[in-house]
Chains A and B, each alone.
Chain A
């Protein structure tokens, strides 16, 4: 499905996603999420701003899957589960990286939007500094 008859396309447009995200569609989102996880596994030293943008991608993917057809969801399920499991393996639970206020405003909860509530087990130096400055990591 493409264009205005594609519910994922409609969702991405209505959410106000970047044009590149809209163009890539569900399969592109899935591929992008897998690449984000792979980069994190390799120790990519993202800033917190970049990390939050990456987690937004996972949130967009969740919304896109909810809008997708059962067939599209089933086709994506295995690859998504693999990428998510790898992400969980290199992160640990934390408070919301966007901050408690934004979590409350958006009704985000750790059991649902878990991607916003996890931080890397071994953050790179830039992300580590940003997490410290933002009170999201203890200095010890």
Chain B
């Protein structure tokens, strides 16, 4: 996938209506995470729509589930 197609795919997932195959959760750090069950793509973006990351997780939907329950600040 070229950079233009990659960006377009990320934006399409960000702008898609959540529900159905598009799972969404607002993480406790304010970041919105989405997972598209059709494509297996994961997206994280800030409240202002700025895309943070977009990729197909190795562990599939389990990765999204873990992201959804991750607690920022849970470290040392």
Interface of A with B (CB < 8 Å)?
15-21, 47, 49-50, 52-54, 56-57, 59-60, 94-95, 98-102, 105, 131, 133-138
Q: Is the CB of A18 within 8 A of B75?
A: no
The interface on chain B, measured as residues whose beta carbon lies within 8 A of the other chain's beta carbons, has a size of 25
Chain B interface main SS type: loop
Chain A interface main SS type: helix
Interface of B with A (CB < 8 Å)?
29, 40, 42, 44, 52-53, 55-63, 66-67, 69-76
Q: Is the CB of B60 within 8 A of A134?
A: no
Q: Is the CB of A21 within 8 A of B58?
A: yes
Q: A95's contact among B52, B59, B70, B76, by CB below 8 Å, is which? A: B76
Q: Is the CB of B70 within 8 A of A16?
A: no
CA distance A19 to B72 in the complex (A): 29
A49: chain B residues at CB < 8 Å are 42, 44, 52-53, 67
Beyond contacts A17-B58, A134-B29: 8 other A-B pairs, Cβ-Cβ < 8 A, are A16-B60, A17-B60, A18-B40, A49-B42, A52-B63, A52-B66, A52-B67, A57-B58
